[in-house]
Every structure is written in C-alpha cells, then in structure tokens.
Amino acid sequence: MSYTIGIDVGGTFTDIVVSAPGGNTIIAKAATTPADQSDGVLNGIGLAADRLAMTAGDLLRATTRIVHGTTVATNALLEGKVARTGMLTTAGHRDVIEMREGLKPDRYNLRMTPPRPLVPRDLRLPVTERIRSDGSIGIPLDTTSLDAAIDTLRDANVQSVAICFLHSWRNPAHEHQAAAAVRDRLPGIYVTTSFDVLPQIKEFERFSTTVANAAVGPVIQNYLGRLQSRLRDAGYGGELLVILSHGGVASVAEATRLAAGTALSGPAGGVAAAVALVRDGLSPNIIGFDMGGTSTDIAVVRNGQPNLSGDKAVGGARIALPSLDIVTLGAGGGSIGKLDRSGLLAVGPESAGAVPGPACYGQGGSGATVTDANLVLGYLDPANFLGGRRRLDLDAATAVVAKLAADLGIETADAAAGIHRVVNSRMADGVRIATVRRGVDPRGYTLLAFGGAAGLHITAVAAELGIAHVAVPIAASVLSAWGMLNTDLRVELSRSQGQSGSLDTTGLRSAFAAMEDEGRARLSWFDGEVALRRSADMRYGEQVFEIPVPLDDVDWEAPTLAADLANRFHAAHESLYTYALRDQEVVLVNARLSVIGRLPAVERGAADLAVTSAAPKAHRRIYLGAWIEVPVFDFLTLAAQQRIPGPAIIESDTTTVLLRTGDTACFDARGWLDVTIDHQPRPA
C-alpha cells in the first residue's frame, strides 16, 4: 500500500498528482508561493491528502516516491537572483562568457545593450596556466596567481566559484588543483569545475554552463535541502527525486551538484507524460502543445523518444547540458491583442502575465487577452473556471474587447474571434517551424494538449497544420505532474574525443568504460535495474555541426568497430539530410552515455467509467462565425468510446475542449479524448 506523488511548481499553480494504491489518481492545485516554493508544495500535499480523507502526515508516511519539478533555478536565472559568483579562468581569456562567440539576437535592433553576464569582469580572475590542445601542459599552473585570485574572491565575499580552464576537457589536472585550493581556502563555498559539469570541447558552451551551474548551485542547494527536511519532518521517509532538464530524475545530491541541469525541470514533466502516453497506446509520434499564460511549449516525441539537444539558453545563460528539445513560443492565454503601429491586429508577445492577468480576472488587467476573447466568445464558462474557484468577469472582458473592436471598426464578437484566430495562426506557424527545424513533417503526428486552455485552440491549430489527430488527456491541466510519476533515474555523461581524424577505437572504449564507472557510482545508492544507452556526436571532417548517432547495439569488440561506427554515422546523416559522403573523413567529437536506473511503474487502475453515453449537462451560446447554441458535456462522465461531433464543448473543473464543426471526439477509456479533425480548408 504505497503512494507516489508528482509535484509540478508552475508560475501560478503548484500541481500535485497522487497515484494511490489500486491505480486511482488524485489531483490537487495549490497557489504557488514564489518566496518559498516549498510552502505551496506542502499546501498542495495537504489538499491532496484531504481528497484522500487522510492527514498529510499519513499520506507522506505511506509514500515511497516523490518526484518534483522545480522552477527555482529557472526563475533565479530569469530574474537574476543568483548566488554571488566568481570565476577562475585561463589568463588571457577572461571574456569568453561575455563574448558569446560574437552572436547577438534580433538582427535589425542596433539599439540594445548586451546581456549582463552571470559573473562580472572584475570577478572573472585570470590564473596563469595553459593546457595545449593535445592535453600537454603549455604553461604550468602558477600558484602565486592562483592564490592572488582566491584572495580577491574571498574579499569579494563570493558564495560560489566556477573554475574554467581552456582544454580542460582534455586534461583536467589544473582545474582539479585549483578546485582543491579553493575548497581548502574558502571552506563552505560551492565549487564547480568545467570538467565536472561538461567535459566537452568548445569553451563557450562549457564555461557558460559551468558559470550557470555555480550561479544557481547555492540557490538549488538551499531550496532542495529545505524542502527535503520539511518533507522528512512531515513524515516522508523516502528519497526526494528531482526531474532534470533531460527528463530523467536524480537525487537531491546529484541535482545540487549539477544544479544547472534543473533549468528545464518544470516543462520536463510534460514530455515525460507524452512518453508515458505513448507507452499507454497513444500514437508513437506526438507533438506536445503546452499552452500557458505567457508562452506555449512545443516538444516533439518521435517513435516514443523525445529529442535531446545541447543548445538551450535560460534567461540569456547558455546551458549546454543535454536537455529536452522544447521550443517556446511567445503566445499564450495572457497574450494581449492590440493594433500595432501599422494598424494591423497583433496578438502578443506582450502578455498580461499572472498579475494583473486577463481583464476577466478582475485584477485590473486592461489589455484584451486571448482568455478575455475566449470568454466573450462563450468558450469559457464564467462560473466554472477552476471548478468555480475563480469567477470570470464577462463584463470586464467584453469591455476591453469592445474597445479593440472599435479601433478595428468591427463588431465585438468579430474582434474576439479575430484574437482567437490570430493567436491560433501564430501558434500553428510556430509549431510548423519548430517541427520542420527538426526534420519532422507535423502532418503524421498527434497533437497533445497540455494545460487548461490548450483545448480551446488545439483543434484549430491542428486544422491549420493539416494534422488529423488531437489528444486531450483528462489530466491535461496537471499533465506535467502526472508525467513525473512515469520517469526513471538518469545520469547523462559525455567525453570529447581527440579530433585527430581517424576514429580512435581504443580511446573510445576506455571513455565509455570510464563513463560507465562514473554513472554507476552516481547511482550506487539505488538498488534496482540499471540500463546503459550509448551514443556519439559525429560529423564529417569539414563540417561544423555534429549530429547525434545512437550506438546501442554496437559490437564493441568487433575488429571492424571503426568502420561500423562510420557506417552508422553515414546512415544517420543520410536519413537527416538525404545524402551521405562515404569517401569523407568521419570525426567522433563526443561520446555519450546515459545510465538509467529503472523505477517501478505506478499502478494504473481501470477507471470507473460510465457504461451509457453521457447526455449534455447544459447548452451554451458560443460564437463560431455566428452565435449558435452547442451542447456542453462533462468530461468526467463520458462513457468509453462515446462519440461527440462538433460543434460542442467538453469541460471539467480544469480543462475545456472546444469542438468545431468537422471535429469528432471519441473518449478513449485509457484516459484521453481522441479528436479527429476533418480538415477541409476552412473559410477565411
């Protein structure tokens, strides 16, 4: 009789999903408490316990696993509320993190200032030393310069130190020596080296990631330490696990060591949910569509596997750790519709945010947001938002939309429909580019709705993209937290190889062996099954971009190993780019190993479903080009295989789905609404 708890802390709500013995799933939402997120977490656990008619202590004592997604690191980076951080780096190269390889966003904007680096120049201190590109020592580490630099950091009262030397990926001796000196002279300080964080060639990625790790390390250390001890005090005896940016989970100790790896912890649960739904029998190819207040996150799951990428940035900080490939569009429920300076209707990127929020929240919002438009159009029920816990102010929404309508010279309903249509179109364009960029044709994929508001937009977005299938899970509004119940422990490791050209198979075998030792050591506390997945980043000699090549069933002892690896790369290149150059030199840049500790799957009970088709619980007037009356169904009372043709609305406390003419929903007993889109071109 044990419980599993998933906790997702978002900008507005902290979502709790409890998997109870027998497979029953309980959902709770508490307000997020930005000053200390652990308050909201404990409140949410209390609410969930209420629903189970238990005390929080009884629930926690009966819980064997808690998986947590946190935005603490993300928010610290976005708001600049990070630890006071110093950096020791190779003399002559102290500006690497600020130069950003000469790139600047927004090509036509020459009136902008550079982003502030996480460590200012006066705390980026040169140490006389130099490792050469072959790993030999060009200049031995000069301890006088090291001591002087540490003196400066001590006088500046830094809380954290990043140690970043050139070519440490090849030879970390100087970084280790410097780290030992810092730990010795500044006890209690958070110390991290670039070799420990990301032992890969390319100094900007490595240094920037290490500095981000140092900047959020103490913040994560404090937060997770506090949360863990509060959970222990409340009765929890298990391990607190944290979901990392790559979608696997890790212990508090590991999440603290690799704190920058929690930067995408929040949205990672959603991708884990998509992968779990693939296992439950939803299509193997899914585009996750997580529509929030200010932005929409898009993630592709192909053949049941999410993509990882190393090119993420959070709050301007480059973090090159392997991360789920989530693309964020600047459009969501809070995006504001207005006339731009050219007189055309634009929706976003300006957003009303959580405060003041849309006008209909009645907190002083004055912009006509997407949510206001949805309310004016009748898609949302003013009395049943969040199960009636927040009443929406239709008059306030109508007033702001009417003002925009007057500016446009059209009727209020048409202006609301215009906001709805423009934001759908922007999101469809965003999905198209996010998928095409990854070589994915979205038309064969299922679009998966996350978040409470996605269901109002998702069928129109699908229709624009030529997508035929949409899925809306019952748990759509808390899907990220639910996804956390379906994750494994994971350690992602990498080692750059020499770049000499011909594949050094001996070096590669020993790199994989060393990574396996390290990974198993990091999971030494875990007594379950451990699996390994190998891959490599490879390219042709003259190229600059590597591509990931899976190496899972390679015979590592075969005498033809070098040729086998090259052939795998040629095949991967051909499938991505339509051609291979078999006479060209192949370079293996990074060897990668995922060490996966399998966690027991949570129980899935057969839901207690109605046998007879549910009748509409009400009818509502909505605007779809004209005002029409449509049936409204209760999501939670639908019978298995019950079919509902559009136009109709299906809603629960936390999720509303709009079916348009031509859409047909069918309730799948495994826990989601399967919507088929008939995409005849829609009238303009």
* Smallest separation, CB 577 to other proteins (Å): 6
Query: Interface with other proteins includes 184 (CB under 8 A)?
Result: no
Asked if residue 594 lies in contact with residue 492, where contact means CB atoms within 8 angstroms, the answer is yes
Quick one: which segment of 33-41, 361-369, 381-389, 538-546 binds other proteins (CB under 8 A)? Answer: 538-546
What is the Cα–Cα distance from 515 to 527, expressed in whole angstroms?
19
Residue 529 binds other proteins, judged by CB under 8 A: no
| d(C-alpha 380, C-alpha 388), whole Å | 12
Long-range contacts from 105-112, C-beta under 8 angstroms, 24+ separation? none
Is 575 among the residues that bind other proteins (CB under 8 A)? no
* Residue 331 dihedral angles phi and psi, to the nearest 5°: -145, 135
**Residue 155 lies near other proteins (rule: CB under 8 A):** no
Binding status of residue 537 toward other proteins by CB under 8 A: no
Judged by CB under 8 A, how many residues of this single chain contact other proteins? 68
User: Apex CA 587: angle with CA 582 and CA 591, to 5°?
Assistant: 125
Task: Give the contacts of 137 (CB within 8 A, at least 6 positions apart).
Answer: 130, 131, 171, 173, 174
Q: What are the helix and strand counts (H, E) for the chain?
A: 17, 36
**DSSP result, 615-683:** PPSEEEEEESSSEEEEEEEEGGGPBTT-EEESSEEEE-SS-EEEEPTTEEEEEETTTEEEEEE--SPPP
542 vs 553 by CB, closer to other proteins: 542
Q: Please, what is the Cα angle at 679 between 673 and 683, to 5 degrees?
A: 120
- Binding other proteins by CB under 8 A: which of 21, 22, 80, 138? 138
Which range touches other proteins (CB under 8 A), out of 22-30, 190-198, 202-210, 243-251? 202-210
Please confirm whether the linkage preceding 356 is cis (ω < 30° from 0): yes
Q: Which residues contact 583 (CB under 8 A, 6 or more apart)?
A: none
Stretch 306-345: interaction string toward other proteins, x if CB under 8 A: ----------------------------------xxxxxx
Question: Residue 112 interacts with other proteins (CB under 8 A)?
Answer: yes
Q: Is 406 among the residues that bind other proteins (CB under 8 A)?
A: no
Supply the minimum distance, in Å, between the C-beta of residue 85 and other proteins.
15
Footprint of other proteins on 466-495 (CB under 8 A): none
**Three-class secondary structure of residue 29 per DSSP:** strand
* Site for other proteins contains 426 (CB under 8 A): yes
Interface pick for other proteins out of 155, 184, 527, 542 (rule CB under 8 A): 542
Q: How far apart are CA 443 and CA 73, in angstroms?
A: 35
Stretch that binds other proteins, among 114-122, 314-322, 368-376, 652-660 (CB under 8 A): 114-122
For position 133 contacting other proteins by CB under 8 A, the verdict is yes
Q: For residue 382, is the peptide bond before it cis, meaning its omega torsion is within 30 degrees of 0?
A: no
Q: Which residue has the tokens 């298995």?
A: 640
627 near other proteins, judged by CB under 8 A: no
Query: Is 506 among the residues that bind other proteins (CB under 8 A)?
Result: no
Q: Give me the least distance between CB of 72 and other proteins, in Å please.
A: 28
| 443 belongs to the binding site for other proteins (CB under 8 A) | no
Q: Which of 29, 65, 68, 94 binds other proteins (CB under 8 A)?
A: 94
* CB-based contacts of 617-620 (< 8 A; 24+ apart in sequence): 620/378, 620/381, 620/649
Query: Binding mask 340-359 vs other proteins (x if CB under 8 A, - otherwise)?
Result: xxxxxxx-------------
Tell which one of 21, 31, 79, 132 touches other proteins (CB under 8 A).
132
Helix then strand then coil, % of the chain, to nearest 5: 35, 30, 40
Query: Per-residue contact track with other proteins, 156 to 175, x per CB under 8 A?
Result: ----------xx-x------
Q: How far is the CB of 122 from other proteins (least distance, A)?
A: 6
Smaller CB separation from other proteins, 103 or 383: 103
Distance CA 620, CA 174 (A): 70
Question: Of the candidates 35, 53, 383, 544, which one interacts with other proteins according to CB under 8 A?
Answer: 544
CA atoms within 13 A on the CB side of 161: 30
User: Which residues of this chain interact with other proteins, rule CB under 8 A?
Assistant: 92-95, 98-99, 101-114, 120-122, 132-133, 138, 166-167, 169, 201-204, 340-346, 408-410, 414, 417-418, 421-422, 425-426, 429, 432-433, 436-437, 439, 498-499, 542-545, 576-579, 681, 684
